[in-house]
Amino acid sequence: MRPLSSLQLVALGFALVLAGFLVPFLMVLEVLEAGFVLSFSAYFSSLVGLLLAFYGISHVSLRRRDDK
């Protein structure tokens, strides 16, 4: 299995942050039943998504700086 590219990491991070937003939003609208595990999963996915996106963005910017 080959590693993910920087842009794929950014896209995966964005998807995780979006999921971390939508799950609590659906809990507030009472579409999903609020629970500890679901709330913790939403927080964790948002945190991991943010870290992955920052990691991917930093690699893109470092690669562009090295190309100049």
Mean pLDDT in the chain?
A: 92
Rounded CA gap, 11 and 8, in Å? 5
Query: What average pLDDT does this structure show over 39-60?
Result: 94
pTM of the model: 0.85
For residue range 22-46, list pLDDT tens digits in order: 999 999 999 999 999 999 999 999 9
Domain boundaries, the chain: 6-67
CA nearest neighbour of 11 among 23, 19, 1, 2: 19
**Residue 3: band (very low, low, confident or very high) from pLDDT cuts 50, 70, 90:** confident
Which has more pLDDT, 63 or 49? 49
